[in-house]
A and B are shown apart, each in its own frame.
Chain A
Amino acid sequence: MDTLANLALGFSVALTPYTLFLAICGCFLGTIIGALPGLGPSNGVAILIPLAFALGLDATQALVLLTSVYYGTMYGGRISSILLNIPGDEPAMMTTLDGYPMAKQGRAGDALVISGVASFMGSFLSTIGLVIMAPLLASIAYLFGPAEYFALYLLAFCTLGGVASKNQAKAALAACLGLGIAMIGLDNSTGMPRFTGGNLHLSDGIDFLVAIVGMFAISEVFIFIESHGRNSALGVTLGKISIPWKDLKNTFGTMMRSTGIGFVAGVLPGAGASLGSFMAYMAEKGYVGSSGYFGKGDPRGVAAPEAGNNAAAGGAMVPMLTLGVPGSGTTAVMLALLLTLNITPGPLLFKDHPDVVWGLIASMFIANVVLLIMNVPMVKLFVKVLLVPAWVLMPMVTMVSFVGIFSLTGSYFDMILMIFFGALGYLLRKLDVPTVPVILGILLGSEMEDALRRAMVLSDGDWSYLFSSPIAIGLWVAAIGGFLAPLFLRGKLGKPIPVSDTTLDQD
C-alpha cells in the first residue's frame, strides 16, 4: 500500500503539462540521438545536462527530461541496427544479428515493431521490478565480489563462440582478437600502461564505441565503395507495414525471459546493458534450440536483445539509487546530475527525498508509454530512411559517425582509430569473420581481467578463491555447461545441417 501511495506521490510530481511536454521532447530527441551511430545514451544525457540548468528546470523536471532522453536512446539504438546493420550504440549491437536479416527479407517494419514492443516490455517490467524490490535488490550488489564477477564474465565468454551461426572457430578467433585489443591501456592492478607505445590517447584503453562505429559503419562504407553499391547493406526491400500480431504473440515468452535476464544484469553494477542484451540473446538462442533460425532473421532474435537491454537500463537504476553505484555510463551521468542538484544517492535516498525518487520512477513509466505510442506509428517514418538513395545516406552516415566519435573525447586520435577499425572490420568481413565477437571480446575482456586480477590480489594468488562462494560455483557450472552442451548435443542431433549462407552477404 505504501508503495502505491508513494507512486501516486511520484505521479503527482511528474505528471504536469510542462513535464509531460518535456518527456515528449526528451523521448523524441533521445530516439534520434540513439539512432545516430556513435551517439549513445551517455552522450545524449551528458549533452542535455547543461541544458537542464539553462532552462532553470527543478530537480524533478530535469530528471524527467533526462530519463526520457535515456530511454529514448535505448529505444532509438535499434533503428539503425535493423535498417542499416549499423548499431546506434553498444547495447543495440546484438539486434543487428537478426534485425538486419529481417530487414533484408522485407520485414523491416515488423522488426521495428517487434523490437519496439520488446523494448517497452523490458523497461516497463523492470521499472515495476524497481518499484517493488529496489531496497531488497540493493543487497545483491554486496554478494558479487571479484570471484563472482569473474565467473559471470566467464559464463558470458563461454557462449561467445555460438554468436555466429556459421563458423564457430572464426567466432572464437574474433573473440580472441577482441581480448587482445582489450589488453591495451592502463593496467589497473599495477598502475602501469600496457601496449600504449607512450601514447596518452591509448592509456585508457580502446573505447568500444570507437571500435563499434569503425567496424560497422565505416567498414560498411568501404564495402559500399568497393562494390559500387551493389553488395552493400542498403539493398533491403520495403515490405507492407502492418502490426505483426502473430510474431508479437510468439515472442511474448522471449520478451519475458529476456526481461528477467536483462534486469539482473542491470542490477549488478559490474555488468550493465550490453551484457544484458548479449546474455538475453544467447540464452534465448539456447532455449529455442535447433528449431530457431537465429542469425537469419528470427523475430525472437530481435525481441530478446531489445527486451534485455531495456530491462537492464531499468535495472541499472537500482544500484544507482540505492547505493550510488552507477551500473552503466548513463546512470553515471544521471548520478552526476543528482549530485549537482545536491541530492546524494545512497541507502537513505528513498527516505530523504521520496519526491525525487518517486518522481523519477513515475517519469520512467511516463517515458515508456510516450515512447511506445511514439515509436509504433513512427515505424512508417523510420523505414523511409531506406528510400533515401545510397549516395545521400552513405556520406551522412560517415559524417555522423565522425561527429559522434569526435564528441566522445574531442580528439582527432579517436577518429583515426575509428578508420583503423573500419579497415579491420572490412578485412574481417572479407575473410568472413564475424565482427560482433570482436566487440564483445573488448567489452568482456577488460572487465574479466580486472575481476581476475583483483581476485588474485585478495587471495594471494590462490586459485581456489575463484570457487569460494555458492554463487561463483553456480556460475562456473553454468559456464562449463554452456560451453560443453553444444558439443554433446551435436553428437546426439547428428551432424549440423550445412546451412547455405543466407546471412549477410547474400543478395
Chain B
Amino acid sequence: MTKLKMLATTAALMLAGTTSAFATECIAPANAGGGWDFTCRQVGKLLYDLKLVDAPVQVTNMAGAGGGLAYAHVVADMNTDADVIVAASSATTTRLAQKAFGDATADQVRWVGAIGADPGVIVVAKDSPFQNLGDMVAAIKADPGSVAFAGGSAAGGFDHMKPLQVMKSAGFSDITKVKYIGVDGGADAITQTIGGHTQAMTGDMSEIVGFIKSGDVRVLAVLTEARVPGFEDIPTAREQGFDVVAVNWRGLYVPKGISDDQFNAWATKLQAVADSAEWKETMTANGLAPFTKVGTDFQGWVDGVIAETETLSREIGVIQ
C-alpha cells in the first residue's frame, strides 16, 4: 500500500505542472500568497470537490500592475474563452475606477459574482488612547497630523479609502491632510501599528484575526452593515454614527464574449459554492463575512461601487 502510494507520488511529482488542456483555468492576477490566489485556490478546490467541474481547476498566477496585466490579457486574448475565471476583489474595481489599468474599463468583462467579503476594519494597538471610532475622529479633526494610518495598499488604494470615507461621513472635508503610509500587506501594517510607528491600521478583517484573538489590538470599528458573525463584540462604524460600509469582496469575473448561457452557468456554479457547508467553514476560519451577490445583481452593484470610488479618488487627487 505504502509502496503504491510512493509510486503514485513519484509519478505525480514527475507530472508537476502538466495539466489537461480542457481543465477550467482560474487566473489569480497576483503572485501566490495573496487574496486573489486564495480565492482561486479555494473556489477552484470547491468547484471540483462539489463536482461542478470535471477536472481539477488549474490556478495560473499572472501578477502585474495590480491585476491590470491579467485584465488586459483576458480582454485582448481570451475574450470568448468560457473555461476561464478570474479572481477579483474591491482592489480590482478601485483600480478600474481610477483608470489604473490603462484605458481598460469595467464593462470589458462580465462580473459573475462575489461569494464572501473581507470586512474593512479600523484597528489600533491595545494601549492606544482611542476607545472608539468617535475618539479617533475627534482627534483627527483637532489635529489631522496626529493620527497616521498604515495599510496594505499603495496610496489611493482601497485601504487608504476606508479612513477617508469615515472622515468624510463625519463632515471632515480636508481629507488630503489625513496621513497614510502604504506598506507590504495587512500583517505588515498591523506590525507597524503595534510597534507604535503608526497610530492606526486600516485593512481587512482576515489580516488581523490572529491579533484580535491574542488581544494585541483593539478594533475600533468594522465597516459592515451588521456585526460580523464570530466577532459580535466588535461594533460597526454605522452604529457609532459613521455611515460607512467598505468590504473587500472576493469574487470572479469572466470574459465579455461568452454567451449568456455560459455566463449563467458560471453564476449558478458560484452560487452552489457559496451555499456549500465547506465554503461557510472556510469563511469563518478566515474572518470572511457572508456576502453573496451573483449574476446581473452583482453587475449592477459593481457599477455603483465604481462610480462612488471615482468621486472619492477625484477628491483626494489620485485622478484628475
Chain A residues within CB distance 8 Å of chain B: 17-18, 21-22, 25, 29, 42, 45-51, 53-55, 141-146, 186-191, 198, 200-201, 203-204, 269-270, 319, 323-326, 329, 332-333, 335-336, 339-340, 342, 344-349, 408-411, 454, 457-458, 460
Q: Are A203 and B68 in contact (CB under 8 A)?
A: yes
Smallest CB separation, A52 vs chain B (Å): 10
Can you sample 28 A-B contacts with CB below 8 Å? A18-B6, A21-B6, A25-B9, A46-B31, A46-B32, A46-B61, A51-B12, A53-B45, A53-B56, A55-B9, A146-B181, A188-B182, A189-B155, A191-B318, A198-B102, A200-B65, A203-B66, A269-B191, A324-B210, A336-B34, A344-B210, A346-B209, A346-B213, A346-B214, A409-B64, A410-B60, A454-B183, A460-B145
- Chain A residue numbers with a CB within 8 Å of B318 are 191
B128 an interface residue at 8 Å Cβ cutoff?
A: no
CA distance A186 to B8 in the complex (A): 45
Q: Are A340 and B210 in contact (CB under 8 A)?
A: no
**Which of A143, A191, A346 is in CB contact (< 8 Å) with B156?**
A191
CA distance A135 to B68 in the complex (A): 39
B90 an interface residue at 8 Å Cβ cutoff?
A: no
Nearest residue, chain A, Cβ from B155 = A191
- Chain B residue numbers with a CB within 8 Å of A198 are 102
Q: Which of B10, B42, B195 has the most CB of A within 10 A?
A: B195
Interface of A is mostly: helix
**Which of B5, B10, B98 is in CB contact (< 8 Å) with A25?**
B10
Instruction: Name 17 extra pairs, CB < 8 A, besides A146-B197, A329-B31, A348-B210.
Output: A49-B32, A142-B195, A142-B196, A200-B68, A201-B64, A201-B65, A269-B184, A324-B210, A325-B187, A325-B191, A326-B185, A335-B33, A342-B286, A346-B209, A347-B214, A411-B69, A457-B181
Smallest CB separation, B195 vs chain A (Å): 4
Q: Are A344 and B191 in contact (CB under 8 A)?
A: no
Nearest residue, chain B, Cβ from A340 = B41
Smallest CB separation, A228 vs chain B (Å): 36
- Chain B residue numbers with a CB within 8 Å of A332 are 31-34
- Chain B residue numbers with a CB within 8 Å of A408 are 63
Q: Are A50 and B58 in contact (CB under 8 A)?
A: yes
Q: Mark B105-141, 1 if CB is under 8 A from A, else 0.
A: 0000000000000000000000000000000000000
- Chain A residue numbers with a CB within 8 Å of B5 are 18
Nearest residue, chain B, Cβ from A186 = B154
Smallest CB separation, A472 vs chain B (Å): 11
- Chain B residue numbers with a CB within 8 Å of A22 are 9
Q: Mark B213-234, 1 if CB is under 8 A from A, else 0.
A: 1101000000000000000000
Q: Are B216 and A336 in contact (CB under 8 A)?
A: no
Q: Are A51 and B37 in contact (CB under 8 A)?
A: no
CB-based closest 5 A-B pairs: A346-B210, A145-B197, A191-B156, A142-B195, A347-B214
- Chain A residue numbers with a CB within 8 Å of B6 are 18, 21
CA distance A42 to B34 in the complex (A): 13
CA distance A254 to B73 in the complex (A): 49
B263 an interface residue at 8 Å Cβ cutoff?
A: no
**CB within 8 Å for A204 and B32 given contacts A25-B9, A190-B155:** no
Q: Are B180 and A457 in contact (CB under 8 A)?
A: yes
B188 an interface residue at 8 Å Cβ cutoff?
A: yes
B101 an interface residue at 8 Å Cβ cutoff?
A: yes
- Chain B residue numbers with a CB within 8 Å of A29 are 13, 16
- Chain A residue numbers with a CB within 8 Å of B160 are 191
Q: Are A42 and B194 in contact (CB under 8 A)?
A: no
B157 an interface residue at 8 Å Cβ cutoff?
A: yes
Nearest residue, chain A, Cβ from B59 = A50
Q: Mark B166-197, 1 if CB is under 8 A from A, else 0.
A: 00000000000001111111011011101111
Q: Which of A47, A142, A143, A198 has the most CB of B within 10 A?
A: A142
B312 an interface residue at 8 Å Cβ cutoff?
A: no
CA distance A29 to B15 in the complex (A): 12
B93 an interface residue at 8 Å Cβ cutoff?
A: no
- Chain A residue numbers with a CB within 8 Å of B2 are 17-18
Q: Are B191 and A409 in contact (CB under 8 A)?
A: no
> In residues 32-57 of chain B, which contact A (Cβ within 8 Å)?
32-34, 37-38, 41-42, 45, 56
Q: Are A458 and B32 in contact (CB under 8 A)?
A: no
**Which of A42, A141, A187, A340 is in CB contact (< 8 Å) with B38?**
A340
B72 an interface residue at 8 Å Cβ cutoff?
A: yes
- Chain B residue numbers with a CB within 8 Å of A51 are 12-13, 16
Smallest CB separation, A365 vs chain B (Å): 22
Q: Are B213 and A340 in contact (CB under 8 A)?
A: no
B89 an interface residue at 8 Å Cβ cutoff?
A: no
Q: Mark B285-304, 1 if CB is under 8 A from A, else 0.
A: 11100000000000000000
Nearest residue, chain B, Cβ from A51 = B16
Q: Are B214 and A458 in contact (CB under 8 A)?
A: no
- Chain A residue numbers with a CB within 8 Å of B56 are 50, 53-54
- Chain B residue numbers with a CB within 8 Å of A409 are 61-64, 69
Smallest CB separation, B69 vs chain A (Å): 6
Q: Are A42 and B210 in contact (CB under 8 A)?
A: no
> In residues 7-29 of chain B, which contact A (Cβ within 8 Å)?
8-10, 12-13, 16-17
**CB within 8 Å for A204 and B12 given contacts A46-B32, A188-B182, A198-B102:** no
CA distance A46 to B41 in the complex (A): 12
- Chain A residue numbers with a CB within 8 Å of B210 are 324, 344-349
- Chain B residue numbers with a CB within 8 Å of A326 are 33, 185, 187
B198 an interface residue at 8 Å Cβ cutoff?
A: yes
Smallest CB separation, B207 vs chain A (Å): 8
**CB within 8 Å for A458 and B17 given contacts A50-B59, A191-B157:** no
CA distance A339 to B206 in the complex (A): 10
Q: Are B60 and A347 in contact (CB under 8 A)?
A: no
**CB within 8 Å for A346 and B211 given contacts A21-B9, A145-B197, A339-B38:** yes
Smallest CB separation, B298 vs chain A (Å): 25
Q: Which of A47, A186, A349 has the most CB of B within 10 A?
A: A186
- Chain A residue numbers with a CB within 8 Å of B183 are 454
B276 an interface residue at 8 Å Cβ cutoff?
A: no
B282 an interface residue at 8 Å Cβ cutoff?
A: yes
Q: Are B285 and A344 in contact (CB under 8 A)?
A: yes
Nearest residue, chain A, Cβ from B101 = A200
B84 an interface residue at 8 Å Cβ cutoff?
A: no
- Chain A residue numbers with a CB within 8 Å of B33 are 326, 332-333, 335-336
